Structure 1
Amino acid sequence: MTHLVNQNVIINGTRISHGVHGEGSPVVLIHGTPSSSYIWRNILPSLVSAGYKVHVYDLLGYGLSERPCDPAIDTSVTGQVPILEGLLDIWGLDDLHVIAHDIGGGIAQRFGIQSPNRVRSLSMIDVVSYDSWPSKRTNEQMKAGLDKLIKAPDADHREHFREWFYSTVQNKERLAETSMETLLDFICGPVGQGSFFQHQVMHYDPKHTDEVAPRYAELGKNPVQLIWGADDAWQVVDWAHRLHDAIPGSELHVLQDCGHFSLEDQPEKISALLVDFLQRQR
């Protein structure tokens, strides 16, 4: 297993793992939950080969980045925006292409509306929007209380979320043979299990996208592409059409035989769409 993040930097007193690959026009990848920058492993090489300098990182509280002990440290969608801005300062980026997945889309939406002059283009893949999240299943678990899940035996926790991950893809065999155990390792064990609920699940709150939803049209000041799995069970494709309608001039591509973790199901098709879109923005 080779991680895409191979450097560390302190931003706002917390450690963020990041990596920079290739040369050319800058692209920043923002992952979602429950995942990490690892989810871009089949996408990044195509971007580098096409002549882009790809910047990737693990959100605060995710992947190889710090899992803060202090519950006052904000790892929500809104709290992640200053982390992104800090990284852009370190990378020296003022004009960049942004590609985001899942709640990474919520971060990208807030950043794109706040700083439209810094965004050259925006690609959003199976992202949250409006009050589309958390999913019905997750919402039921949250309402029932997280204590039971937090204190569950490691083996039970791991199997529970193994089934969770299977619900994100169409090609379950491929997921099992490639990234399943890595995805689970990040949210299981003595650190991962508690951190998952503290830094991810407890912040599953649609207010972070609902607050900016009335301004989605502003994202259309820059080129926007939406890519969606037709079989996305977490963010059903109806949300893709609603977001597409709200952003003037946006493009929408719906991929068949593809779930919420579309980067796992159809990385080749997504890579091709991303490269084509980016090359048209030059």
Structure 2
Amino acid sequence: MSLQKSLQTSPLTDHLVVHGVRLAYRERGQGEPVVFIHGTPSHSHEWRDVAPHIEAAGFRTVVYDLLGYGLSERPVDRDTSVAAQTDLLGHLLDALGIEQANIVAHDIGGAVGLRFALGHPGRVRRLMVIDSVSYDSWPSSTWRKIIDENLDDYSSMPQDDFDALLTRQLAMTVADESLMSGGNLEAYLAPHRSAPGRVSFFEHQVRHYDSKYTEEISGRLGELTMPVRVLWGEEDRWQPLHYARRLTGDIPGAELSVVPGAGHFVMEDAPEHVVEEIGDFLRRPVTVNA
């Protein structure tokens, strides 16, 4: 299967009601389960050039949109914070009949994966975190400025202004900014191409950019016993590389792999490298760290 980039808006094909809310997802393949958790400002589009290759390698892959993101439900009365998404992950695994999974998680998905692994260590076979938020690393300075200046004005923001704002932010996620253009950029903007979509972006995503969800687990990272690999774009402008090194040092037995010439959305800059790293990690024997 070619790694040529698809321009489709979402790779998801199905919907499932989980704990009273509707999640969009795609489940394919057989073998050990691998669950992909995306970041922000994003949705499952970011895994389009990665997950199919892991499926083809003999794994059962599950890709889903977090609650309030992409094609999943955008409820007005449900918490969509990292803590709430962590709880919902457990319900999703239950609904799919998955007792134990390999988790591959990016950005805020990394925080979800880390929290879930700490709370339910028996349910995580291996954990890969990719350019994850951690400690006090988020929100980035540009997101903090948006929160301070725009968060309460979202309802009146014209579509063109919103698109310009989000396009500027998305350009920062890649080392090669030409990748975040054309149909690919449109795919990232697509969930917000309406007034409800813009409101949802601020309410379900930006309002929950809060480092308390990672700072409160920073002292517990040494409790992780499953294999952990930290994968990072060397040129990440939102989550600098020193956070990757700190995470690797605090998690027993963790491995760090740095991708040269890649930014925060490393799967955009270097999809082949990401596929290789995940495949190698999944083939490693599982040993419990003391």
TM bucket, shorter chain = over 0.9
2:213 to 204, 208, 213: 208
Q: Which whole-Å CA distance do the structure 2 matches of 1:218 and 1:266 have between them?
A: 31
- Per the alignment, residue 236 of structure 1 pairs with 240
User: For 1:49 and 1:9, how far apart are their aligned partners in 2?
Assistant: 24
Amino acid at match of 1:175: M
TM-score (norm 2): 0.93
CA shift, 1:44, in A, is 0.7
CA distance in 1, matches of 2:9, 2:157: 30
Code of the aligned partner of 1:100: A
SS at match of 1:144: helix
Change (3 A) 1:243 1:263: same
Once superposed, what is the RMSD of the aligned Cα atoms?
A: 1.3
For 2:188 and 2:9, locate their aligned partners in 1 and report how far apart those are by CA, in whole Å.
13
TM-score (norm 1): 0.96
- Give the structure 1 partner of residue 59 of structure 2: 52
**1:67 — aligned with what?**
74
1:272 matched to 2:273? The reply is: no
- Identify unmatched segments of 5+ residues in structure 2: 1-7
Tell me if the contact between 2:154 and 2:199 (Cα under 8 Å) persists in the aligned partners: no
Number of residues of Structure 1 aligned to a counterpart in Structure 2? 279
Corresponding residue SS for 1:81: helix
Counterpart of 1:252 in structure 2 is 256
The answer as to whether partners of 2:33 and 2:59 remain within 8 angstroms in 1 is: yes
Kindly, what percent of the aligned residue pairs are identical?
42
Contact 2:9 2:190 in 1 (8 A): no
2:198 matched residue in structure 1: 193
Cα deviation, residue 145, structure 1? 4.5
Shift of 1:122: 0.3
In 1, the alpha carbon distance for the partners of 2:160 and 2:150 equals 20
Does structure 1 residue 21 correspond to structure 2 residue 28? yes
Q: Which amino acid aligns with 1:264?
A: E
Structure 1: any 5+ residue segments left out of the alignment? none
* Cα offset, 1:2, TM superposition: 6.2
CA contact (8 A) 1:259 1:265 kept: yes
Structure 1 residues 125-166: Cα deviation after superposition (integer angstroms, max 9, x where no partner): 000111110001111221235123442111111012111111
Cα distance per residue 1:161-194 (max 9 Å; x no partner): 1111111101222221452101011134222111
- Aligned to 2:102, the other structure's residue is in SS state strand
Structure 1 contact 121–281 (Cα < 8 Å) conserved: no
